[in-house]
Amino acid sequence: MASVPGSHRPLRKAVLPVAGFGTRVLPATKVIPKELLPVFDKPALQYVVDEAIAAGIEHIVFVTGRNKGAIEDYFDRAYELEVTLEAKKKETELNEVRSPIRAAGSMSFVRQQAALGLGHAVWCARDIVGDEPFAVMLPDMLMMAEPGCLKQMVDAYNRVGGNLIAVEPTGTPERYGVITPESRDGRLIKMKGMVEKPKREEAPSNLFISGRYILQPEIFALLESQGPGAGNEIQLTDSMARLMQSQTFHAYEYEGRTYDCGDKIGYLQAFAAYALAHDQYGEQAAETLRALLADKG
Ligand code: G1P
């Protein structure tokens, strides 16, 4: 199947859906957006924004919801804090406080008024994305990789164009979107289909859609008419399956390690992994964790 015209257009924008309630991490997420829970010394969301920037993304669209105002504040100036740190000559801390701030106008925030599903969340970004390819990055999924997952995908996208989704093996395909692979060329997989949260025995493969996408803007028209699917939600996977009728889709198995912060144990694992990988604190973190485990016996 041929690529759509213009499908190699450069990728400039990323959509980050951040409206979810974080029900699997309650009560921690009762008043704090789950995306701002710290993963060692940074909010989870910061890792994903860093991954986007490293991949050349120029504009980030956050699809937020009620009670998520702290996300906007995090990427804004913290005037009183900055003035205080400046007066105390705390340079390092001042730089840390300022580091999330991007150029004015390079972030947009749009609200999803009701939790109707990932497909609906992405559709909420349609006017801001406009008629150009865009990335979707699910901030629950932290991808530890060098170069970052989205950068690896952009390199592949520059070769094949069309639509590209990150996949990796899982032992629990029923929890995710799953692809039907056709053939494989290294890390790039030609696909035949995909399905959202299949019954375990009906899963077409063990390759799950892991939370990074590069999509063509034609997906928006399909999302607009997309009826509810698995879990009675408007599923991005269902519209991608329809887009596959007319555009090329590849899956990409990136090189790196994914941490799913969406539940308590996944969050613990991410926290520990990023502490262990930290340039400054990694060694100390390892000693601390070893000592804790030794105490436990
Ligand atoms: C969403 C997507 C699913 C994907 C998953 C990755 O599901 O619908 O295709 O595999 O994210 O985390 P959710 O986690 O919102 O149920």
CA pair distance 88, 84, nearest whole angstrom: 6
What is the pLDDT confidence band of residue 74, given thresholds at 50, 70 and 90?
A: very high
Q: Residue 268 pLDDT more than 90?
A: yes
Tell me what the mean pLDDT of segment 130-143 comes to: 97
**What's the pLDDT score for residue 5?**
45
Nearest CA to ligand 1 atom 15: 118
Pocket of ligand 1 (CB under 6 A): 118, 138, 140-141, 176-177, 196, 208-211, 235-237
pLDDT above 70: percentage of residues in the chain: 98
Q: Residue 195 pLDDT more than 50?
A: yes
Global confidence as pTM: 0.94
Phi, psi of 139 (to 5 degrees): -70, -10
289's tokens: 């964790």
Tell me what the mean pLDDT of segment 124-131 comes to: 97
**What's the pLDDT score for residue 7?**
65
Nearest CA to ligand 1 atom 9: 177
* Domains by residue range for the chain, with CATH: 13-296 (3.90.550.10)
**pLDDT tens-digit profile of 200-216?**
999 999 999 999 999 99
Tally Cβ neighbours within 10 Å of residue 115: 14
Mean pLDDT of all residues belonging to the chain? 94
